[in-house]
Structure formats: C-alpha cells, structure tokens
Amino acid sequence: TAHLLEVKDLRTYFLTDAGIVKAVDGISFTVDEGETLALVGESGCGKSVTNLSIMRLVPSPPGKIVGGEVLFEGKDILKLSEGELRGIRGNKISMIFQDPMTSLNPFLRISTQMTETILLHNKDITKKAALQKSIEMLQLVGIPSPEKRIRNYPHQFSGGMRQRVMIAMALSCNAQLLIADEPTTALDVTIQAQILELIKSLSTKLRTAVILITHDLGVVAGMCDVVCVMYAGRIVEKAMTDDLYANPAHPYTEGLINSVPRMDLRGKDERLFSIEGQPPNVIDLPPCCPFHPRCHKAMDVCKHVYPPAVTVGTGHETACWLYNDEQTVADALAKVAE
C-alpha cells in the first residue's frame, strides 16, 4: 500500500563560499495516515532543512535540493508546478513553528487570519461558514470562549494559547500532514506537555499524520510512533519509539537518551549527562562516520568510511559499523587501503 509521505534518498546542499554544506545527505523515511514520526537531533543536524525540503521552501540560493524524491500521495512534490504546490502547502500539508508570532500577523484579528486561511484553500465555502469553522477549531484546541476570543489580536494570547491558535489554523483546512518544527521549545515545561498532548490527541481524532521536529528526545516518548535520529545530515537510527528507548543501537542515540533531563532529578541534581564534543562542521566532510570524534566505541574503519545502514530489529535500523559483519568491515578497510 502507498504511504501518505515517502521521502527517498533526499539530498539538500548549500553551496557556500566556504564549501558545500551537505545539510541533508541521503535520508529516507515514510509516514502513513494518522502516524506520528519524530525527527530528532542537535541543532544543525538537518532536521529543519528536511522539513523545508519537503515543503520546497529551502532558500535558494544558496540551498539546492540536489537529489531524491518527496512523494506525497504518490506524487513527487519536487516535480510539481508552483500552482500545484500551492494546492498542497498550508492545505494538505501544514506547518507550525517554534514561535507562532512569526507566522501570525500582529495587526489582524485571529478571526480575520483564520477565515482568510480557510477561504484561500476552499473556494466553495461562505465567509460565515469559514468563521463558524474557525470557532469550532479554536474550541477543538481548547481555547475557552472561542466565539469571544476569536475577535482578539495575537498579542492578547499567552505563548501556549498562541500555539493552540496556530495548531487550529494549521488544521482548519483538514491537513493530512502536520509538520511541527520545535513547536514547544519556547514554552515552559507544563505548557509544553499540554501542547504535545493536544497534537497527539488531534492526530488520533482527525487521523492527521504528524512529523515532530525536536532536539529533545524527552518530548518524543508517549507522543510519537516512530523516531528517526539524525546526525550530520543523515538518519543514523530509526525505530519504533519504545524500541528505541529500550534498545538504542547507535552510540549517538545512547548519548541522547542519557542526556534527557530526568524530571525526578530536576532541581535536585543538575549534573545531567550530556554528550561530549560538538556536532561536526558539515562543510566538505571527508568520508567517515561523522560521529567518530565523539564516539567512545570508534574503530579504525569509522574514521574512513560512512557506515551502511543495517537492520537490528523489526523496523529498527542503524548506520553504525558496530552492527556490520566482519567481512563488510574488512572489505571497507581494504578499499581504503587501495
């Protein structure tokens, strides 16, 4: 059966004066109807560029999608005309970002912004019906007295409430896929949990697929079905969320799990584990496992050849030499020696 979204070997490079930044370098994943998938990694790992590539919003120049496919309902988004693209963007695929203020117009009432969005994507609906739909959406995302609050301007809402408005707006056109890029990073912990809970319950109720982009593996548990861990422009591990927590394969994933701030330790023990070293500079990266300078299990082969992905469990893959068989390692090393 066809997937709602299928990203195949996507490559997005930035051609800078300093060299080629391979921000996204050959990533593949699928998302099905109603499924929630997380893209997790430190800043600069390529997760936001992946999002922008899916929507074809990569700033160009210097950015360029140099390869791969982004199949949405079987059609390659990378090959659509601008007109066809408009029919998908904000309509079938919606996005929300960290700071809703950047996407909301401060000078327009929420009612105006929401009804305009709905009318833009739906020619057959009256203004009155669009307003009614907007109120219903605000109700659905838990805004109290929505028929009153819809008359307000963005600054009259708290950060958490604004993010709820954004979610309502994003889903008001019955989007099939919601891409949420660090949607709760700017919010305090309690509100974060409420917003994630809201996204999860809407996804279940409306069968909306969700891609959650986050640097915090801690917010993924209980929220996402599948996790893709990204490092230096590639997916280094992909697994069902519970499986990833129980059996992390890649040393980077292990580090991420150990660096998740433990709620029970907050305020008691501030010495939280964190991964030593910095993410690599991805400009003109030589062939190697880019994690090797930070990896306590690095071997000779890791310094010279990128590890091929191997299956380590059901739906569980990792790109790490530790899980490749001896012959594959020997062959790779022999090639380097040539």
Single-letter residue type at 194 = Q
- Minimum Å distance from CB 5 to Mg ion? 19
- Does 297 interact with ligand SF4 (rule: CB under 6 A)? yes
Residue 48 contact among ligand SF4, Mg ion, none, beta carbon within 5 to 8 Å by kind: Mg ion
Please identify, among the stretches 184-192, 259-267, 290-298, 328-336, the one whose residues bind ligand SF4 according to the rule CB under 6 A. Answer: 290-298
Binding map of ligand SF4 across residues 234-273, x = CB under 6 A, - = no contact: ----------------xx----------------------
Phi, psi at residue 304, to the nearest 5°? -125, -20
- The correct pick among 27, 138, 302, 332 for binding ligand SF4 (CB under 6 A) is 302
With contact defined as beta carbons under 8 Å apart, do 287 and 303 qualify?
no
Q: What is the size of the binding site for ligand SF4 (CB under 6 A)?
A: 14
Q: Considering only CA atoms, which of 153, 75, 142 is closest in space to residue 110?
A: 153
- Does 289 interact with ligand SF4 (rule: CB under 6 A)? yes
With contact defined as beta carbons under 8 Å apart, do 297 and 218 qualify?
no
- Minimum Å distance from CB 301 to ligand SF4? 7
**196 vs 320, beta carbon nearer ligand SF4:** 320
Residue 307 contact among Mg ion, ligand SF4, none, beta carbon within 5 to 8 Å by kind: ligand SF4
| Interatomic CA distance for residues 257 and 218, integer angstroms | 8
Residue 297 contact among Mg ion, ligand SF4, none, beta carbon within 5 to 8 Å by kind: ligand SF4
- Does 298 interact with ligand SF4 (rule: CB under 6 A)? yes
Query: What's the angle, vertex CA 51, arms to CA 42 and CA 155, rounded to 5?
Result: 85
- The correct pick among 78, 80, 240, 322 for binding ligand SF4 (CB under 6 A) is 322
- Does 47 interact with ligand SF4 (rule: CB under 6 A)? no
Distance of CA 134 to CAs 109, 117, 169, 233, 333, Å?
Answer: 12, 10, 8, 38, 60
Single-letter residue type at 105 = N
- Name residues contacting Mg ion, limited to 5-64 (CB under 5 A): 48
- Does 280 interact with ligand SF4 (rule: CB under 6 A)? no
Residue 320 contact among Mg ion, ligand SF4, none, beta carbon within 5 to 8 Å by kind: ligand SF4
- Minimum Å distance from CB 275 to ligand SF4? 12
- Does 287 interact with ligand SF4 (rule: CB under 6 A)? no
Which residues form the interface with Mg ion (CB under 5 A)? 48
Contacting residues toward ligand SF4, per CB under 6 A: 250-251, 289, 291-292, 295, 297-299, 302, 307, 320-322
